[in-house]
Each structure stands twice: as structure tokens, then as C-alpha cells.
């Protein structure tokens, strides 16, 4: 089942500012149900059951507690719809918008019990996605003219959610999984007996299976780059991209030497897409992007994410008072 097929009917797929990436088996609705189920356990919200009259209705407001790019608005609507389709959700911002600390950017109204039940699951997704989108936006702007990519270093079970946040932040998606792109890495090369053997095996496999897809090979030295270029100049190959791994060299003063990466890009001379990987940080990404490389991949976008602080408050005036006292609003 495709992602589009698992989107709740209460949310218009066409109205999404940034649609989730495509995946043949990912069950978004199932992920939402699992998140709600692990919170509810076998008893439900015992605090709500004890303190909130079931028929009470309230209005709760989303509050940004720090500056950043908001993401997960469409997913939040799906979660609220899953808990209670009668809940009304309104937004003054959309996925990908910049929010400032203290801004109320959305509200949900309806049965208090159901709003509070959905609250933490909604915020867990939104805070994580907003953190990813915020870092992606900063790195994507710094990387230009290169495009920033994430990797498969995502939270287990949240692959599509994490990659959706990257898109919202202005990045591009690398391969979704093991199925949609051939990526020949160091272990494949070692097992195959060399980089050319690995490329030959991939070419044969794709031809035998009548498959057409992107093929990337990891290179770690200029000699490997030259070996790949010589082979592909003499033989028809399915190769589309060359990864230039760890060709950004850290220096003792905190700077980086990108001369090896630049040499590799010049050697390839646009015959293939190029991807820089390794030692990619907020401090180095701009310099890497100036080498002429096509893509820059960063696992940190998703594996080291700092969540953006967002809250959902019914008594917003008191929440702002507390926020000012703690310097969080």
C-alpha cells in the first residue's frame, strides 16, 4: 500500500504544501496508530479519565518556544483525525514556514479529553520533524549550489516521517531504502573483490532482472575515481553517481581541506553526478558546496536531530507567563 493510500481521508492530500515521499509499503496510518497505542496501553489516559468530564469542550493553542522551521502540521491533522474526526484544527502557518519564539501558530478545538490524549503524540512528531526541517533549511542554504541530502540514518519506523521533514526543510531525499537505488559501498566492494567487479555485477544483475534504476558507487581515493572513470569510458554501464567519501580532510585549526574533493569533481567533469560524504557540518558545508559537487549527504540531519520546542496549551496566558519566567517564550 502506498503512502498516499494510507493518508487519512480527513486530510486533503492535494492541500499539503509538501507531500510525503513515495514508499511502496510504508503505512503512515499504522505508524500513527502504533504511536497512540503505545501511549494508551491497556487502560487509556487514566489522568484524563479522572480529571476531565468527557463532554467538556476546549480550545488549545500551538505555541512556538523557539525560532525555527515548523514541520509536521499535515501529520498533526492526521493524528487528531485518528483520535477524533470531529476535532477542528486551524493553522496560521504551514509546513516549511519560519516561526518565532512566542508565536501562536495553530489551534485545535473540540472534546478536551481527546485533545489531551492526542497532545503528546502530535508534539513528539512535530517537534522532531521541525528540528529536522530547521537544520535542513540552514544546511541547504549554506550548501548551495550543491543540494543537501539525508541518508538512511533515520529513527527505526520513522523513515518516511524523517525524510518528509527533510523535504519540508528544503533538502532532497537520498534513496528511501534498499529497494529503490543501487548503492555500492565499501563492504560490497570488499566482498565483490574490487570496485570494478562490483560495478560489473550490478550491471549484469540489472540487465538480467530488466531493471532500470539509479546506481551509485562509493570511492575513497582518487585512484578509485580514476579506475571507475576508465572502466565506464570503455564499457557501457548503469552507473549514474559517484560518491566521494571522506575526501574532506579536517585540519587542526577546525577548518577543512577540500582540495582532494575538488580534484575528484574535476576528474569526473560532469560525466556523472557527484556526492560528497563525510565531515559535513554546519561549519563545513558551505566550503564543500563550492567545490562543484552535485550533492552533499549528511546523516546528522536525522540521526542527531535537536527537537524544536513546541507546546500545546489550553491556558495560553499562563503558559506565556511561565515561558517568560523561564525565558522559553
Active-site amino acid positions: 120, 153, 185, 216, 245
**Contact between 95 and 76 (Cβ < 8 Å):** no
Question: Residues, the chain, total?
Answer: 329
DSSP assignment of 134-202 equals HHHHHHHHHHTTSEEE--S---TT-HHHHHHHHHHTT-B---SSSSSSEEE-HHHHHHHTSHHHHHHHH
Annotated binding site for substrate: 120, 151-153, 175, 185, 218, 245, 277-279, 298-300
Report the alpha-carbon angle 83-85-88, nearest 5: 105
Residue 11 Cα to chain centre, angstroms: 21
d(CA 285, CA 272): 21
106: Cβ contacts below 8 Å, ≥ 6 apart: 61, 62, 73, 76, 89, 90, 91, 92, 93
Residue 12 DSSP class:
-
Pick from 311, 40, 66, 34: nearest CA to 161: 34
Amino acid at each position: 500500500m502506498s503512502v498516499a493510500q494510507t493518508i487519512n481521508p480527513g486530510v486533503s492530500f492535494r492541500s499539503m504544501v509538501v507531500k510525503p515521499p513515495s514508499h511502496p509499503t510504508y503505512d503512515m496510518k499504522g505508524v500513527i496508530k502504533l504511536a497512540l497505542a503505545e501511549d494508551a496501553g491497556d487502560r487509556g489516559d487514566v489522568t484524563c479519565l479522572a480529571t476531565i468530564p468527557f463532554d467538556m469542550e476546549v480550545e488549545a493553542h500551538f505555541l512556538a518556544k523557539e525560532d525555527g522551521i515548523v514541520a509536521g502540521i499535515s501529520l498533526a491533522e492526521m493524528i487528531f483525525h485518528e483520535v477524533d474526526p470531529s476535532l477542528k484544527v486551524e493553522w496560521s502557518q504551514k509546513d516549511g514556514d519560519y516561526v518565532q519564539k512566542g508565536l501562536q501558530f495553530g489551534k485545535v478545538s473540540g472534546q478536551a479529553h481527546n485533545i489531551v490524549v492526542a497532545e503528546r503524540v502530535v508534539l513528539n512528531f512535530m517537534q522532531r520533524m521541525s528540528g529536522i526541517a530547521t537544520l535542513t533549511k540552514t544546511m541547504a542554504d549554506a550548501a548551495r549550489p550543491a543540494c543537501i541530502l539525508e541518508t538512511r540514518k533515520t529513527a527505526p519506523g520513522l523513515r518516511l516521517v524523517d525524510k518528509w521533514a527533510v523535504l519540508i526543510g528544503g533538502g532532497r531525499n537520498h534513496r528511501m531504502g534498499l529497494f529503490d537505488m543501487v548503492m555500492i559501498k565499501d563492504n560490497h566492494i570488499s566482498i565483490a573483490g574490487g570496485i570494478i567487479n562490483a560495478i560489473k555485477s550490478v550491471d549484469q544483475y540489472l540487465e538480467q532482472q530488466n531493471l532500470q534504476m539509479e546506481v551509485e558507487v562509493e570511492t575513497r581515493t582518487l585512484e578509485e575515481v580514476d579506475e571507475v572513470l576508465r572502466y565506464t569510458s570503455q564499457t557501457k554501464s548503469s552507473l549514474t553517481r559517484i560518491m566521494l567519501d571522506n575526501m574532506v580532510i579536517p585540519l587542526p585549526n577546525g577548518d577543512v581541506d577540500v582540495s582532494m574533493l575538488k580534484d575528484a569533481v574535476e576528474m569526473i567533469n560532469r560525466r556523472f553526478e557527484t556526492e560528497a560524504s563525510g565531515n559535513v557540518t554546519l561549519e563545513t558545508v558551505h566550503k564543500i558546496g563550492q567545490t562543484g559537487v552535485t550533492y552533499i549527504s549528511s546523516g546528522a540531519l536525522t540521526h542527531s536531530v535537536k527537537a524544536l520546542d513546541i507546546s500545546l496549551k489550553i491556558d495560553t496566558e499562563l503558559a506565556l507567563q511561565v515561558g517568560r519566567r523561564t525565558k522559553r517564550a
